Amino acid sequence: MPTLYRLNPAAPAIAAHFSARAGKDPWAGGTIAPHTFAPVITSGREEVAGPRPDIEPPRRLIPRLWGVPPPPSAGDPSRLVLTVRNSGSPFWMGNLKNSEFRCLVPASAFMAWGRNDPATGRRRQHWFAPADQAMGDQPLFAMAGVWKDSEIASFALLTCEPNALLREAGIERMPVILPADPRAWTTWLRGEWKRAEPLIAPYSSGMMRDLAAS
């Protein structure tokens, strides 16, 4: 499961890459940790009531908190939910079926903890990025996300089974990385659930690289 991710470009470059409006997003590049704000891209109308128009509204880059408030049954409201492990869960299904609640989460790399290093007994930290997605000389890709209505604008990352590269490192879940094809981004942001759901799949290990392990 990703516990950190990096997003190196600043907001204007991210918005241009994904054909979105940067607005006043202050992002200047850096590392995103749980319970902190990060830019996400939406194609919904969070503040506009009424039926959704057939014409795609402008994509917007907006800051949201990484971590969604848990259901009341969880007991501890402070333990924010970072990832979606089961897309069929009633807690998520209503939002996932309504495409306005889906979002793109831009990233340059993500971190996950692997198995213990036999020499030190400590878990190894791995940073991964797609090898086939880049903006200039650096990676920039989109992870699949979903947001929920709450007092704080927040989002969670979709996860899936790991590919062979992550499985070899001892990692049990990986974020859903969307293909570089802009049509895939549109499907996640606008498509019916029966078209968007197949995008929840491991990214090809042959098109990923382990940037560093320690």
Domains of the chain by residue range: 2-46+55-213
Q: What is the dihedral of CA 119, 125, 130, 136, to 10 degrees?
A: -110
pLDDT class for 132, splitting at 50, 70, 90?
A: confident
Task: Give residue for tokens 């109308």.
Answer: 45
State how far the alpha carbon of 9 is from the alpha carbons of 14, 33, 109, 130, 141, in Å: 6, 16, 12, 16, 11
Say how far apart CA 199 and CA 114 lie, in whole Å: 25
139-160 burial, b at 16+ Cβ within 10 Å, e below that, comes to bbbbbbbbbbeeeebbbbbbbb
Q: What is the mean pLDDT of the chain?
A: 89
Q: Which amino acid is at 165?
A: L
Higher confidence at residue 53 or residue 29?
A: 29
Distance CA 65, CA 72 (A): 19
Q: What is the dotted CATH code of the domain comprising 2-46+55-213? A: 3.90.1680.10
Which position has the higher pLDDT, 77 or 25? Answer: 25
Per-residue pLDDT at 214: 41
pLDDT for 33 equals 97
Amino acid at 121: G
Coil vs helix vs strand at 166:
helix
Express each pLDDT in 57-102 by its tens digit: 789 999 999 999 988 877 777 789 999 999 999 999 999 999 999 9
Instruction: Give the per-residue pLDDT at 183.
Output: 96
**Would you say residue 46 has pLDDT above 60?**
no
